[in-house]
Structure 1
Amino acid sequence: MNHKKNIQSTYLLSPLALLISGFLSPTVLADDNDLEVIEVHGHAQNKHLSLGSSESLLSNLGVDFSAAGGVSNLPILNGLMGDRVKVLVDGADVTAACANHMNPPLSYISANQITSYKVVAGVSPISAGGDNIAGVISVNSISPQYGESSDLAWHSGYVSAKYSSIDNGRKLGVGARLASDTFSFNYQGSFSDADSYENGNGDVVLDTLYRAQNHSLTAAMRDDKQQLVIKLTHQKIPYQGFANQYMDMTDNTSYGAIAQYKRSFENSEFEGQVNWHSVKHEMGFFSKEKTGMMPMETDSQDISTQLKWHITLDKNSSLLLGQEYYNYRIDDWWPAIEGSTMMGPNDYVNINNGKRERIALFAEYESQINKKLWLNTGVRVERVNTQVDEVQAYNDGMSMMDMGNMSSMSTANNAMAANDFNNADRNKTDTIVDVNLLANYQITLYDELQLGLARKNRAPNLYERYSWGVSNMATTMIGWYGDANGYIGNPELDVETANTISATYSKTAKDDAWRVSANVWYTDVNDYIDANIVRSFNSYGLANTSRNILQFSNVDATLYGAKIDVSKSLYQSKSFGEWVLTANVTSTRGKRDDTNQPLYQIKPLHTKLTLSQQIGLFENALSWEWVDTKSRVDFNRLESQTHSYNLVNLSSKATFNTLTLSAEVTNLFDEFYELPLGGVSIAALKQDSSTGFTQLAGQGRSFNISASYAF
């Protein structure tokens, strides 16, 4: 068949204070539903010291990450990863266009571009976003700033740079803005380049190198009642290593456009947004650290619209009505290799003209019932349709007969699987209903109780439903878990439905000297998309190199957890500044209900303790993080157990009006540790198979310096 490519603030600092250091984010949290309008007179506060991926920002809000590429790690909320977490970038819903999720939404924006961000785990408001069961992460770069004059003139800008020794990492961020009292034009760009990092033993963790650049141009105009914003984006990643995948990224080129409109009326407000995002993505091999020969390409496009009408019912309550439309298209094919008997003569068509369309209607009611009780409740109804056209294997299997029974059987199976797939129903529609209830009760002036209940749904993605290949090679190209196993899709997959209850109690001292917050949550998931073993394979013939082929399957699952956060002001004086101690402990569990087997990539018990000091222009911190032994593992995926470890970090930041300087040491004692959410290193196995599959190791000690100048 012919394959058609479709779409796409001054004190003398003591030597002790110089040693106390850590991570303090300069970023402001804001409601992502608002079009943030900022009027600045004189210089803007410099908020662009953070560079590279947004991971460092979001980790402080309880987001874990499954290791992938340097800018492509996948977020995990409450033990749930991948598409179960809704990620919105400037309100836009961008779909990972790759069988290995190498280009997830957060990879399309760098930390210096982010002006606000928000994480709502578990029970999120209906308006925050649908098609998820884990929660919502929203990052925003659109924050128009206007001047006082009617003339369009220079407004502000910044240049930021960072160097990290562990991977010879170089990062650069720039921004420039022109503005009048009604117009604002803003450019932001970033560049990142890093070699493969070293672990605590001083060994190179192969295939962790990358290079990436992001650009955005935003124009905004306003009057006293309305605002229009248009943003254009471009990303180029010429290469990015993925140590725990069989393939690497050899190119990711994307273009995007967002238009946001907001108008205020006497008792209501209207918001509208249109999004377009196109991606051309290639996988293969580019480095001697992991070699091979196999091209893979995807061509995809996201188009979506969101309409919201916020109606003020009275001084204490409001109603939000919304309609959303999402259309995602993708082609995924693996070009034939000339002269190859196994990978030719046809292109392997993995997903042909794949479509995932969502249409949603929702209503959300919010009210301050009385001085103590606040309530938010809503309902969302969505129709989700997925479909694909016919596919094809590399060949019909006949040309492999002279290569032995194993090769013949593997290829023939793919040919027969393609035929069976083409003859099956490849069009499925699901209607799903989300409902939530959020309540906040102010017990006294110093303590409050928050309660959340939710029923949330997620329909399967196209790879979960329509990855049809059954051979070892074809299946190992599918999956975003970093486990080296192979995956087969399942067209009969049902929608995941999660019923969650969450409760948070917080108490603050009357003099604000301390604060304690405790959260517990429980989630019951019907038709959780897990995977069952089909067969095993062993490409190296060693006892520790066996892997499994699995098929996506619906099972019931249970997840639950608890988190405690404590903040205590220890000391304050003019000579030594203000000292604050913060601590948190997080525990998460997840299991299949049928076998009680632990779910994959659940982070073990972990704690973090930070001693920070602010004195004059300086912010310093010493942090200690401990992660417990990971003994609860997913045996179906052959998940590795990992040892407990400790990490100590030091940093110091000084802000001189428009100039911010920072120095830090991460993993101070150069401890070797394995990432409990890192998966296995396929790159290391390919270099030396005698050690078998080993868990991906974390970064060793790194000396990092950064500077940012605002003008």
Structure 2
Amino acid sequence: MKYSIQLTPLALAICLAHPALAQSQAVSGTVSGTVSGTMSGTMPEVRVVGQAMPQPLAGSDSSQLLSNVAGYNVAAGGGVSGLPVMNGFADDRLKIRIDGMEVSSACANHMNAPLSYIAPKQVGKIRMLAGLTPVSMGGDSIGGSIEVESAPAEFADAPGLLRSSGSVSLGARSVDRSVSAALSAGVANERLSIAYSGNRVRANSYRDGNGDQVRDSLYKSTNQSLTMAAQGGGQLLTLRLGTQRIPYQGFPNQYMDMTRNHADFANLNYTGALAWGKLDARLYWQRTEHDMGFFSAERAGKMPMLTEGRDRGYAVKAELPLAAGGTLRLGNEYHSFRLEDYWPSVPGAMMMSPLVYLNIHDGKRDRVVLFAEWDQSVNAQWSTQLGLRGERVNSDAGQVQPYNYTMMNAADVDAAKLFNSREHARRDNNVDLTALARYEAGAGASYEFGYARKTRSPNLYERYTWGRGTMAMRMINWFGDGNGYVGNLDLNPEVAHTLSASADWHDAARQRWSVKVTPYFSFVRDYIDADAIGSFNPYSVKTASGRLLRFANHDARLYGVNLAWNLALAQDARFGKLALKGTASITRGERTDGLDLYRMMPLNASVALEQAQGAWHNTLEAKLVGRKHLVDSQRLEPETGAYAVFNARAQYQAGRNVSLSAGVSNLFNRYYADPMGGVDLAGMAASRSGTLRALPGYGRSFDLGMTYSF
């Protein structure tokens, strides 16, 4: 069988341009959508719709779908488990909902973070807001919200018609020899709809810009979902059922790997337009069985760690129109999380037998929520939003035990006795407030500004992990920094006071050019950071250093500015439509005692030249990242150097049904250290020498993708 590839003149130029260029992340051959829009401190919307250009790594990790948005970054994890970071706030400090469900990380390393439960090909829309999040979009977070929605149920256009649709997608990436496949299919009449979506990806460990293997970064994942829906009379009832099966996923910046993650969920949603307004009600449940250990010759060992998590809850929201263009939203939510985290004994291991180590036993975290939100159009230029949200958070955990009660485990024995002697139940009464305003100055400018008070209660691992032995503490770590952590029963909730503004200048038609700048400032009272209580040598390497840390409250400041622009360069018959797009951002984070916060992205920018001509869509993109020298000295965070890296990609729409994509990421195979990657523990485990280095980024990759729609 023979294949031929035809490129437009610009596509050829992209592939041959600038011999000193490279790109920062591997680019997947296929992705379910394109990311558009910019992130401000107030109320923008970022959507993923249709078949369009692939985003970095989006073939496997949904957290990468937003990687071209100013102020957004991804903290490296496993191949499908990156942790989103918005304006310096990461992980649990963000409210992430998947089809309205709240999903908790049921893992001491947060290997199964919420976005890992949906594949990029299953994403229909992403709505992301930073900082000044409306109270209706969730609480128990201080940095912003990400709402991910699957493709909506589709129905036939008229009675008597039967609608059927579907697609098959294949993708491959050379840097980790990954292969992905996705299938979707659905059938519906005007009232009933049923659809299936499945995605599978498998990858080996990737290689860096020097051609060296980054050990223990291989993975395999399968996600499947079934959607059934019925509509009529302005009412819609949707039931989604799904599963995830991950038999293995390596984490090069953690001491452990994922050896199994099995999850099942059910999500029932009702929306209706009623005489008095709109009603949205949801009931959901998810169960996760998660194992950590070792599975690959790239990092051997034996230490099973098992976790069972269960999320369940409901959310009811009513929207009522008011006089003079106003809208009132009222809501009630409940979310319950149950956690069992235990480590079976290892026969023959004196330190890890004969008992089962109870890391968190009978963990409970329940939230009850009431909120009210008022939108008002004051006049043709001014609109406002005011929201108030109250939450009661109850958490608790049962008695614990170490592996044994011998002198070898004295630190854990004493810690278990102290933990068991104390009252574990905690109750937090949290209040959120958001006040926003928008001003349309005319056809060429608009401004947004506001204030938010946001609150987050500690998660179960921050409050209830108790082990004080070095081995036990190293197992508590979702930061990828090579250190060890222990919880703190006396933690207070974090309270963030955020001010943000956004100025958007553009041409009257919003077609030729736009510039948007968003400065922000957050003061966080009782920011949950850590205090050093000891030190150790990772893997007993005397030249390597690690810290033992206890979660602790400290006041902190986070501030920065995001910039996004778009310029239409030309539109003619020869070159088609040319546009120059870009973003830039800088984030600074520090405790009020002067220590720098962990995993703050240095000054960075991206510039993309895009061409659309007929069936072709081509992109040349540059990623520019400054030197990272403001690091968390307490966590021994490594500095990273500046780099400039590039990628090129092209997509061709071959008729109505076939879409082909090809690209080269990290075009000139630049070696660089990922400033959000943590440290390379798997490399240290193999070499048993030297010091902990920053995790390397992806080397050059040739990426291919194809989608056939039917």
Q: TM-score over 0.5 for the alignment? A: yes
Aligned-pair identity in percent equals 40
1:17 aligns with 2:11: yes
414, 417, 422: which one aligns with 2:415: 417
Contact 1:142–1:218, Cα closer than 8 Å, also in 2: no
> 2:68 touches 2:583 (CA, 8 Å); kept in 1?
no
CA distance in structure 2 between the aligned counterparts of 1:542 and 1:189, rounded to whole angstroms? 44
Counterpart of 1:493 in structure 2 is: 491
CA-CA distance at 1:78 after TM superposition: 0.8
Hey, what's the Cα distance between the residues in 2 that align with 1:652 and 1:27?
A: 13
Residue in 1 aligned with 2:214? 205
Q: Name the CA distance, whole Å, in 1 between partners of 2:702 and 2:466.
A: 46
Matches within 5 A, 1:297-312: 297-312=306-321
In 2, the alpha carbon distance for the partners of 1:523 and 1:149 equals: 51
The offset of 1:150, in angstroms, is 4.0
* Equivalent pair of 2:492/2:553 in contact (CA under 8 Å): yes
CA change 1:545–1:132 in 2 (3 A) is: same
The residue identity in structure 2 corresponding to 1:189 is G
Q: What one-letter code is carried by the residue in structure 2 that aligns with 1:20? A: I
The reply to whether residue 664 of structure 1 matches residue 669 of structure 2 is no
* 1:620 equivalent in structure 2: 618
Q: In the aligned structure 1, how far is the partner of 2:539 from the partner of 2:661?
A: 47
1:236 aligns with 2:245: yes
**1:115-154: CA deviation from partner (whole Å, max 9, x where unpaired):** 1111101111000111000000111004011013545845
Look up the match of 2:191.
Answer: 182
Secondary structure of 1:420's counterpart equals helix
Contact 1:361 1:380 in 2 (8 A): yes
Decide which of 459, 462, 472 is 2:460's aligned counterpart: 462
Kept in 1: contact 2:457–2:492 (CA 8 A): yes
Matched letter for residue 602 of structure 2: P
Match of 2:59 in 1: 51
2:35–2:66: 8 Å Cα contact kept in structure 1?
A: no
**Matching residue of 2:176:** 167
Q: Aligned partners of 2:651 and 2:483: how far apart in 1?
A: 44
Q: How does 1:281-680 map to 2 (within 5 A)?
A: 281-314=290-323, 316-398=325-407, 408=408, 411-510=409-508, 512-539=511-538, 542=541, 544-594=543-593, 596-655=594-653, 656-680=655-679
- Look up the SS of the partner of 1:146 in the other structure: coil
Distance 1:45 1:137 in 2: 19
Paired amino acid for 1:513? R
Is the CA contact 2:32–2:123 (under 8 Å) kept in the aligned structure 1? no
Matched position secondary structure for 2:352? coil
* C-alpha displacement of 1:19: 3.7
- Which residue in 1 is equivalent to 2:86? 77
Task: State the SS of the aligned residue for 1:690.
Answer: coil
Paired with 2:351 and 2:486, the residues of 1 have a C-alpha distance of 19
Give the whole-Å Cα distance in 2 for the aligned partners of 1:553 and 1:45. 45
Query: 1:80-119 residue pairs with structure 2 within 5 A?
Result: 80-119=89-128
Q: 1:460 to 1:380 in 2, by over 3 A?
A: same
Specify the code of the residue in structure 2 equivalent to 1:104: A
CA contact (8 A) 1:48 1:708 kept: no
Deviations 1:286-338 (A, max 9, x none): 00111111000001100010001111112510100000000000100000011
Higher mean C-alpha displacement, 451-460 vs 137-146: 137-146
Separation in 1, partners of 2:129, 2:86 = 9
Q: Is the 8 A contact 1:210 1:239 kept in 2?
A: yes
How far residue 13 of structure 1 moved from its aligned partner, in angstroms, is 5.8
Normalised by the length of structure 1, the TM-score is: 0.93
Secondary structure of the residue aligned to 1:464 is helix
* Letter in structure 2 aligned against 1:505: A
Deviation of 1:436 (Å): 0.2
Deviation at 1:659, TM superposition (A): 1.1
CA pair 70-710 structure 1, distance change in 2 beyond 3 A: same
Of 324-333 and 336-345, the range deviating more from structure 2: 336-345
Per-residue deviation at 1:413?
Answer: 1.5
C-alpha distance 540-172 of structure 1, shift in aligned 2 (>3 A): closer
| 1:133 partner SS | coil
CA shift for structure 1 position 438: 1.3
| 1:172 positional shift | 0.6
Gaps of 5+ in 1: 1-11, 31-43, 399-407
| In structure 1, C-alpha distance between the alignment counterparts of 2:235 and 2:707, rounded to whole Å | 33
2:68 to 60, 63, 72: 60
CA distance in 1 between partners of 2:663 and 2:155 (Å) = 35
Q: Which residue of 1 aligns with 2:20?
A: none
Q: Hey, what does 1:5 align to over in structure 2?
A: none
Structure 1 Cα separation of the partners of residues 545 and 661 of structure 2: 46
Aligned partner (choices 26, 36, 58) of residue 33 of structure 2: 26
Report the 3-state secondary structure (helix = DSSP H, G, I; strand = E; otherwise coil) of the residue aligned with 1:480. coil
Q: Offset at 1:469?
A: 0.1
Distance 1:355 1:586 in 2: 38
Give 3-state SS (helix, strand or coil) of 2:463's partner.
Answer: helix
Between 1:135-144 and 1:549-558, the stretch displaced more is: 135-144
> Could you tell me how far 1:225 is from its partner in structure 2?
2.0
Distance apart, 1:26 and its partner CA: 3.3
Unaligned runs of 5+ in 2: 1-5, 16-22, 38-48
**Structure 1 stretch 537-546 or stretch 495-504: which is displaced more?**
537-546
Alpha-carbon distance between aligned partners in 1 of 2:52 and 2:240, rounded to the nearest angstrom: 20
Q: Which residue of 1 aligns with 2:703?
A: 704
AA at the equivalent of 1:258: N
Distance 1:381 1:216 in 2: 33
Q: 1:498–1:523: 8 Å Cα contact kept in structure 2?
A: yes
Aligned to 1:38: none
Paired with 1:523 and 1:141, the residues of 2 have a C-alpha distance of 32
- Aligned pair 1:132/2:141, yes or no? yes
After superposition, give the CA deviation of every residue in 1:80-123 in whole Å (9 maximum; x if it has no partner).
11200111100111000000000000000001111111110111
In structure 2, the CA distance between the partners of 1:310 and 1:302, relative to structure 1 (3 Å rule), is same
Distance (Å, rounded) in 2 between the aligned partners of 1:228 and 1:48: 32
Contact kept? 2:531, 2:549, Cα under 8 Å: yes
**CA 1:694–1:13: 2 relative to 1, 3 Å:** closer
Q: Distance in 1 between matches of 2:605 and 2:35?
A: 24
Which residue is 2:19 aligned to? Answer: none
Q: Deviations over 1:675-699 (max 9, x none)?
A: 0010111110011022221111000
Does structure 2 retain, via aligned residues, the 8 Å contact 1:484–1:547? yes
- Report the residue type matching 2:14 in the other structure: I
Count residues with an aligned counterpart.
675
Give the counterpart letter for 2:65 in structure 1. L
Residue type at the aligned position of 2:508:
K
- Residues 147 and 29 of structure 1, relative CA distance in 2, 3 Å threshold: farther
Distance, in Å, in 2 between the alignment partners of 1:544 and 1:257 is 50
1: distance between equivalents of 2:60 and 2:412?
A: 41
Contact 2:443 2:507 in 1 (8 A): no
Correspondence for 1:401: none
Distance 2:253 2:548 in 1: 16
RMSD of equivalent CA atoms: 1.7
The Cα shift of 1:339 comes to 2.0
Partners in 1 of 2:338 and 2:523 — Cα distance?
Answer: 31
Say if 1:686 and 1:567 are closer, same or farther in 2 by CA, change over 3 A: same
Tell me which amino acid in the other structure corresponds to 1:583: G
- CA distance in structure 2 between the partners assigned to 1:220 and 1:509 by the alignment: 42
- Indicate yes or no: 2:688 matched with 1:689: yes
